[in-house]
Amino acid sequence: MTPLRFSITWLALLALGAGAGLHAQEASAKAPPAARANIVLILADDLGYGELGCYGQEKIRTPHLDRLAAEGLRFTQAYSGAPVCAPSRCVLLTGKHTGHAEIRGNREQKDAAGKSLEGQHPLSAEAQTLPRLFQRAGYATAAFGKWGLGQAGTSGGPNEKGFELFFGVTCQRVAHSYYPRFVWRNGVQELLNEKPVPGHAKKPEGEIRTEDWSSARHLSSAVRDEALRWLAERKEDERPFFLYLPFLEPHVAMQPERSFVERYPAEWDPEPYRGQCGYTPHPRPRAGYAAMISQLDDNVGRIVAALEAQGLAENTLIVFTSDNGTTHESQGDPVLGVGGVDGEFFRSTAGLRGRKGSVYEGGIRVPLLARWKGKLAAGQTIDAPVHSADLLPTLCAFAGIAVPSELDGRDLHATFEQPTQLPERARFVWVFPEYGGQVAVRFGDWKLLRRGLSTKQIGAWELYDLAADPLEQHDLAAARPEIVSEGLDLLRKEVAPNEAFPLAIPELAK
């Protein structure tokens, strides 16, 4: 197992440059190679920083993802775009941090009467996205899994944002069950289960039987099979491809396939989970949660195996990451998290403070792996901070695709190709109006944050030196007012208003 490591020396090698801003300049796209690179972008859902073996996990088995790390790059300071699903996916696919992004929370789409509709607030028709850039460059594009940026047929639907084929669920609420009635294939609903299994239930007493799910079709397995079928068709399509795989695990409900549960010790679970912290009960919650991550790992392994079997791996860049940290704590139980997840048992955050829904490190620090056999160095660790907004210009650079100039993300293809080519100084922004209202900015090794902005008890500004204090235990705001002032200046420049996701931030009024 590889322990958690933090590098504090890399900044000394960087020239900061006077007046350097957060905006990336227009990427100078590389000339496309003779065979244009294929891209496979895999996104886990609520996977914590410490939940893979290659990040120090000792209980959950993840051999396929560990192999990706051994054969490629592993980033120790990678950040998601937001601490929850929809805004994180928006940042990933648009290259704009949440100070500029259209989607900044999990708000659902509503009708004229204010009633929630299926699907989250959609991206606008004008929003430029990673798949649209690849599609316009002549790539075959497909996505399989969970979307969350607009219902099919809206301006933010997956087909409207650049995917020729989408199979999965567009609404995050529907994804609470791994056995839903319908999935979407492009703009048409397709029956998955005549008898769906609910994602929310309670069973205070009696036996909890997961055997009752055995006749239903598992959503993630269906997503994987459709992706494998699409990959098998690539030999009949001469175009390079961009494949986006936003898998659903390990987001609760805890509904893994039984075979994965049986890989883990029965003695882990002296008591069943009865649904008291939301979502569905499970007779073996610790084994059940580990099984979800192992099932995710197995699905990734099958995708990689298909690429290798079809002779595609040598021209394919595979990138794996997560949309945010592990499932957050439950207010109703001092030990268990939402859905019965025992993050302390697995040390899911690797000791980092906070979980999903928090701008502390445990909510936004995520795994990031990249592998391209023969092109990227094997077994390399990169300690420099990177952000999910960086992936849009980076992936486009590998494909020789020019990108818009107004992005926040940085082109890191030089770092991917040569890990000693360190990126420019880190400056990342998170604006999150939900979970009480939160804002954070990381600049260099400093991180400034504030919580409770949407409550009656607004928190004070907090400042942490992540090089010396990666677990965020020592607030230095009172001792270093000049650093607080620097962070506030950055936020003033980088936080634009957003009518759909408003958040009032004191001291930032323009």
Average pLDDT over all residues of the chain? 92
Reported as a pLDDT band with limits 50, 70 and 90, residue 2 is: very low
CA distances for 320 relative to 68, 166, 379, angstroms: 9, 19, 15
180 CB-contact burial (10 Å; exposed 0-12 / middle 13-18 / buried 19+)? buried
Reported as a pLDDT band with limits 50, 70 and 90, residue 180 is: very high
To which residue do tokens 């500004």 refer?
A: 461
pLDDT single digits (tens) 45-104: 999 999 999 999 999 999 999 999 999 999 999 999 999 999 999 999 999 999 999 999
Lowest mean pLDDT among 15-24, 47-56, 117-126, 164-173: 15-24
CA distances for 129 relative to 147, 151, 157, 259, 338, angstroms: 13, 16, 12, 38, 32
CB 508 within 8 A of CB 491: yes
Reported as a pLDDT band with limits 50, 70 and 90, residue 109 is: confident
Question: Could you give the percent of the chain with pLDDT greater than 90?
Answer: 86
Whether residue 3 has pLDDT greater than 50:
no
Q: Which amino acid is at 80?
A: S
CB 94 within 8 A of CB 162: no
DSSP 348-400: TTTT-S--TT-SSHHHHEEEEEEE-TTTS-TTEEE-S-EEGGGHHHHHHHHHT
What b/e sequence results for 278-315 when a residue is b if at least 16 CB atoms lie within 10 Å of its CB, and e otherwise?
bbbbbbbbbbbbbbbbbbbbbbbbbbbebbeeeebbeb
Chain CA centroid to CA 453, Å: 24
pLDDT single digits (tens) 193-246: 999 999 999 999 999 999 888 889 999 999 999 999 999 999 899 999 999 999
Whether residue 31 has pLDDT greater than 60:
no
Strand pairing partners for 183?
Answer: 190
Q: Which amino acid is at 138?
A: G
pLDDT of residue 201: 96
Go through the domains of the chain in sequence order and give each one's CATH number. Answer: 20-424 (3.40.720.10)
Whether residue 8 has pLDDT greater than 80:
no
Compute the chain's Rg from CA coordinates: 22
CA distances for 350 relative to 3, 4, 205, 353, angstroms: 9, 7, 34, 9
Strand pairing partners for 244?
Answer: 41, 143
Strand pairing partners for 440?
Answer: 430, 449
Tell whether omega for the bond before 250 is within 30 degrees of 0, i.e. cis. yes
Reported as a pLDDT band with limits 50, 70 and 90, residue 333 is: confident
pLDDT of residue 510: 56
CB 459 within 8 A of CB 443: no
Nearest C-alpha neighbor of 181 from the set 154, 216, 224: 216
What mean pLDDT comes out for the span 162-174? Answer: 97
Q: How many CB atoms lie within 10 A of CB 196?
A: 17
What mean pLDDT comes out for the span 322-350? Answer: 94
pLDDT single digits (tens) 387-398: 999 999 999 999
CB 396 within 8 A of CB 30: no
3-class SS letters over 171-184? CCCHHHCCCCCEEE
Pairing of β 140-146 and β 165-169: parallel
1 CB-contact burial (10 Å; exposed 0-12 / middle 13-18 / buried 19+)? exposed
Strand pairing partners for 443?
Answer: 427, 446
Alpha-carbon distance of 487 to 505, in angstroms, equals 13
Report the chain's terminal Cα–Cα distance, integer Å: 48
Element (H, E) at 148: none
Whether residue 453 has pLDDT greater than 50:
yes
Nearest C-alpha neighbor of 349 from the set 313, 322, 381, 380: 322
CA angle 339–57–201, rounded 5-degree value: 10
Nearest C-alpha neighbor of 140 from the set 230, 222, 220: 230
Dmax (CA) of the chain: 67
Query: pTM above the 0.85 mark?
Result: yes
493 CB-contact burial (10 Å; exposed 0-12 / middle 13-18 / buried 19+)? middle
Alpha-carbon distance of 484 to 497, in angstroms, equals 22
Alpha-carbon distance of 465 to 484, in angstroms, equals 12
Whether residue 292 has pLDDT greater than 50:
yes
Alpha-carbon distance of 465 to 448, in angstroms, equals 9
Q: Which amino acid is at 294?
A: S
